[in-house]
Structure 1
Amino acid sequence: MPLTDLTLAQCLALQPDLDEPADLDAFWHQTLRAARAAGGAPRLTPVDTGLTQVTTYDVTVPGFAGEPVRGWLHLPAGADGPLGCVVEFLGYGRGRGLPHEQVLWANAGYAHFVMDTRGQGWSTAGGDTPDTASLNGDVPGFLTRGVDDPHDHYYRRVFTDAVRFVEAARAHPAVDPNRTVVTGVSQGGGISLAVAGLVPGLAGVMPDVPFLCDIRRGATIAGAPPYTEIAEYLRLHRDRAEAVFATLAYVDAALLAARATAPSLFSIAMMDEICPPSTCFAAYHRYGGPKDLRVYEFNGHEGGGGHHRREQLAWVRDLLSPPRPLNESGPSTLHAPQPA
């Protein structure tokens, strides 16, 4: 497939200038404070998956407004002591799926929390975690749901769910809270960047071909959904463009990523028409912490696939391994940002 966006050289030199709401920090502080005040405790129920090397739990965590958010917890069978942890957020339209489907990180020796995404997925109408808000005026999909007001927007609820899910993961006795990494592909990558900007003290962040970054540009150049939902909405509501993008700025992961401090490993695909590379680079360039990068020049939204999982496994191993004595092999370091 051909390039549909800027070249790699242009993306590497990009200096994104995004409109940031003056009250962005206050908005999220108040949102998260209200969610925590709603109370509630996580619930975990053992699940028999038929797997012998991974122990799985059905997880329910109080999310936005204390509403239940489902997920899975996978642990290496017989694991002893607090473990490094990977919290994973899912791609657009995906729910948590079946309990045996995603066990890579547990097989690598980590605690692995997988968060369901409210209103998405297939196992029931609206998934295992329904979206409780009933809002009119949107086009099919989630990007314009509640777009008239940032307090009503769908991703305000999702990002809050994600923060509360990470907090629950870090509080679990099987998890070392200081060795917790967040990750996700596409929508999950955008959520992981938002969480990185909203939750201090994470060990690492792995956004993979991230969605929800430089949303206005995505709406103008993406050739395939979900960004096209915004263009479709504005095709019908010609007079609402500025109000729509003012709302979406509150959930733009590129803006929230500037507040992050944890080390990060990004992946970006240069022939991606779903999450155009310039939008992903906007988040990469604005990211507030140390950052590493893998670029897949001839891939679309599938990105690096299994090749990138291999890169992530090595990166997390180096990041979360206990430091070795200097006289043994020297200190571990992160690589400088570079395309693969």
Structure 2
Amino acid sequence: MPDFDLPLDQLERYAPALPEPPDFDAFWLSTLVEAAGPVVLDARPVPNDLALFDCWDVTFGGFGGQPVRAWYTRPAGRPDALPGVVEYAGYGRGRGLPHERLIWPAAGYAHLLMDNRGQGDLYGCGGDTLDPSSGTTAGGPGVATRGILSPHDYYYRRLITDAFRAVMALRELPGADPARNAVIGNSQGGGLALAVAGLIPDLAAVLVSSPFLCHFPRAVSLTDLAPYGEIATYLSVHRDAESAVWNTLSYMDAVHFARRATAPAHFGIGLRDTVCPPSTGFAAYNHYASPDKTMHTYRFNGHEHGDAIHTRTQLRWLHSRLHS
């Protein structure tokens, strides 16, 4: 795919004045208050067939107190409290199996991988968390339009709340230092990391790549690929719903959360990304409130951005933040 978005010099200045709902902060405050209650509901050791890592199957209370599953993994034989990383998975992926994502515990972190409620059916090894608020007992091919006519009913209100509560859960788990926490995610996970960065003021670091949930109107106008394409398809059928849809999405836009974020941030974007167009991620980056931020771009890459090369930059950057 050739370049289809703005050139890099314009991306570096792209900071659109996106209007916020006047009750944005009140909406999220009330949402998180409603979710208050016990955080870690269960944490039991599980065999992972790996000699170098210990793993726990964690259940924590997410949106509305509903149970959310996660894998908690630490380097074996480390009695000290380690800096913690909460990782959010991409669109359509569940938490999978406990041995699938080991980069962060291998680097010496206490790692919590959150399951995506009602997802896990597109790729990977599935998920284990239902989304009872959606009225369904299983997942499906996509969630981007579930409850989209109202911000109170919308799927991402629930998932963002889960993501916030996952950090609270990590802080209660044994062997994780509650004062040194980072959030990380790619695509949907990157959008969730940005949302959490705007909701939790004392994070130590935020790592975001190819973020979804950013600048919805522009994203839907630029790409037909899922997840944004699902919104366009919905509007192609529900032609009179556009005003309600944009209103709902304005409460979930990671650009608004980025305006409130204070933690140091590390971004990565592929300039040929047709899934999450580069300008939408740059909108979040350029509005990100902390001056302590860095962007890595990959001119000839798409949604995979810098892949393992980028992961290496993340490892080195995060070590400088959480081990200094």
TM-score range, shorter chain: over 0.9
Report the CA distance between 1:126 and its aligned residue: 8.0
Q: C-alpha separation between the residues in 1 aligned to 2:281 and 2:19? A: 16
Please list the CA deviations of residues 212-238 of structure 1 after superposition, one character each: whole Å capped at 9, or x if unmatched.
000111111114111011111111111
State, as a whole percentage, how many aligned pairs show the same letter.
Answer: 51
Q: Tell me the number of residue pairs that the alignment of Structure 1 and Structure 2 aligns.
A: 319
Give the letter for the 1:50 counterpart. D
Give the letter for the 2:239 counterpart. R
Secondary structure (helix, strand or coil) at the match of 1:218 reads: helix
Contact in 1 for aligned 2:97/2:125 (Cα 8 Å): no
Q: C-alpha separation between the residues in 2 aligned to 1:155 and 1:260? A: 19
**2:160 counterpart residue number:** 159
Q: C-alpha separation between the residues in 2 aligned to 1:170 and 1:220? A: 40
Contact in 1 for aligned 2:183/2:207 (Cα 8 Å): yes
Report the CA distance between 1:141 and its aligned residue: 1.9
Q: C-alpha separation between the residues in 2 aligned to 1:82 and 1:39? A: 22
Q: 295, 298, 322: which is aligned to 2:300?
A: 298
- Greater Cα offset, 56-65 or 222-231: 222-231
**1:64 counterpart residue number:** 63
Q: C-alpha separation between the residues in 2 aligned to 1:77 and 1:15? A: 45
Contact in 2 for aligned 1:272/1:299 (Cα 8 Å): yes
Secondary structure (helix, strand or coil) at the match of 1:195 reads: helix
**1:265 counterpart residue number:** 266
Contact in 2 for aligned 1:263/1:291 (Cα 8 Å): yes
Report the CA distance between 1:19 and its aligned residue: 1.8
Secondary structure (helix, strand or coil) at the match of 2:191 reads: helix
Q: Sort the Cα spacing of 1:118 and 1:316 in 2 relative to 1 into closer, same or farther, 3 A.
A: same
**1:86 counterpart residue number:** 85
Report the CA distance between 1:179 and its aligned residue: 1.1
**1:4 counterpart residue number:** 4
Report the CA distance between 1:40 and its aligned residue: 5.3
**1:311 counterpart residue number:** 313
**1:116 counterpart residue number:** 115
**1:329 counterpart residue number:** none
Report the CA distance between 1:164 and its aligned residue: 0.7
Contact in 2 for aligned 1:42/1:168 (Cα 8 Å): no
**1:55 counterpart residue number:** 54
Q: Sort the Cα spacing of 1:26 and 1:281 in 2 relative to 1 into closer, same or farther, 3 A.
A: same
* Aligned alpha-carbon RMSD (Å): 1.8
1:242 equivalent in alignment to 2:243: yes
**1:191 counterpart residue number:** 192
Give the letter for the 1:20 counterpart. E
Q: C-alpha separation between the residues in 1 aligned to 2:317 and 2:119? A: 30
Give the letter for the 1:202 counterpart. L
**1:282 counterpart residue number:** 283
1:218 equivalent in alignment to 2:226: no
Contact in 2 for aligned 1:135/1:146 (Cα 8 Å): no
Report the CA distance between 1:127 and its aligned residue: 3.1
Report the CA distance between 1:35 and its aligned residue: 0.2
Q: C-alpha separation between the residues in 2 aligned to 1:9 and 1:46? A: 50
**2:23 counterpart residue number:** 23
**2:151 counterpart residue number:** 150
**1:129 counterpart residue number:** 129
Give the letter for the 2:175 counterpart. A
Report the CA distance between 1:270 and its aligned residue: 0.4
Report the CA distance between 1:321 and its aligned residue: 1.4
Contact in 2 for aligned 1:271/1:300 (Cα 8 Å): yes
Contact in 2 for aligned 1:140/1:229 (Cα 8 Å): no
Report the CA distance between 1:124 and its aligned residue: 12
**2:177 counterpart residue number:** 176
Report the CA distance between 1:291 and its aligned residue: 0.9
Report the CA distance between 1:254 and its aligned residue: 1.1
Contact in 2 for aligned 1:35/1:63 (Cα 8 Å): yes
**1:105 counterpart residue number:** 104
Q: Sort the Cα spacing of 1:314 and 1:126 in 2 relative to 1 into closer, same or farther, 3 A.
A: closer
Q: TM-score, normalised by structure 1?
A: 0.90
Report the CA distance between 1:41 and its aligned residue: 3.4
Q: C-alpha separation between the residues in 1 aligned to 2:314 and 2:133? A: 36
Give the letter for the 1:319 counterpart. R
Please list the CA deviations of residues 138-183 of structure 1 after superposition, one character each: whole Å capped at 9, or x if unmatched.
x962111101110000000000011111111022231112211000
Give the letter for the 2:94 counterpart. G
Secondary structure (helix, strand or coil) at the match of 1:224 reads: coil
Please list the CA deviations of residues 95-114 of structure 1 after superposition, one character each: whole Å capped at 9, or x if unmatched.
00011111111111110100
Contact in 2 for aligned 1:85/1:112 (Cα 8 Å): yes
Unmatched 5+ residue regions in structure 1? 323-340
Contact in 1 for aligned 2:94/2:124 (Cα 8 Å): no
Q: TM-score, normalised by structure 2?
A: 0.95
Please list the CA deviations of residues 179-203 of structure 1 after superposition, one character each: whole Å capped at 9, or x if unmatched.
1100011000000000000112000
Q: C-alpha separation between the residues in 2 aligned to 1:173 and 1:24? A: 34
